Structure 1
């Protein structure tokens, strides 16, 4: 990160291993975007939060544990979404299987966000995506 860039806002929350947590994480994100005056690309951000939270619940959060959603905004306007989980597992983007019921979440994140990635933590991992002010929404 550029040394001139600083953290402007941050918000974080823990969510239990419960399917309802995805909707609650999305609601927090919607409120945060409004609080921070970020109206552009809100639908893309909300979809990415849904996908990352769902993946954490399905593949990364062991029973009895939580996942953490972190939202940050830097002074250069970059919004970063991070989902932390404590489970093992490798994150990979599968090739599309058109008749499968799942497996498209990270494909969507890679198409909608301006960048995304994974980093290890102990225990578990962090899957993140970023939205830059000059980034383009998908052409639909």
Structure 2
């Protein structure tokens, strides 16, 4: 069985919370509870990057979730230029750890050029309840 769901969000800080809720609600509907908090955190990080760095003014970003063959894939697509660049922030820095955290938590992570914009994605292989 293959399941897919997506939702668009405006370029607004509140969209980070809304996209995390969308991901959590979808996981619950699909019966995926293992690693749920990690998936929600990774989705939040990509949504925050889209809002802060990727989405041009007046545009939206899209969160797409796919579940099939035991793999959960979450993509965040925006129309902004350039791929996200992982950084190693100083210990006292209050930001800049999102992509590092995502790479540590997810089973796989990457960025795909979409011609106009890009999709940052990650995968998990959780068990269904």
Sort the TM-score into its range (normalised by shorter chain).
over 0.9
Equivalent-residue separation in structure 2 for 1:70 and 1:48 (angstroms): 13
Query: Scaled by the length of structure 1, what TM-score is found?
Result: 0.87
Gaps of 5+ in 1: 1-6, 135-140
Aligned-residue RMSD, C-alpha: 1.2
Structure 1 residue 82, shift from structure 2 partner: 0.1
Larger radius of gyration: 1
Instruction: After the TM superposition, list the runs of 4 or more consecutive aligned residues in structure 1 that deviate by more than 6 angstroms.
Output: none
Instruction: Kindly indicate which of the two structures has a greater share of residues assigned to helix.
Output: 2
Whether the 8 Å CA contact 1:59–1:89 is kept in 2: the answer is no
Structure 1 residue 90, shift from structure 2 partner: 2.8
Q: Which has the higher contact order (CA 8 A, sep 6+)?
A: 2
* Number of positions where the alignment pairs a residue of Structure 1 with one of Structure 2: 127
Whether the 8 Å CA contact 2:4–2:65 is kept in 1: the answer is yes
Gaps of 5+ in 2: none
Query: Scaled by the length of structure 2, what TM-score is found?
Result: 0.94
Q: Which of 3, 9, 19 in structure 1 is aligned with 2:3?
A: 9
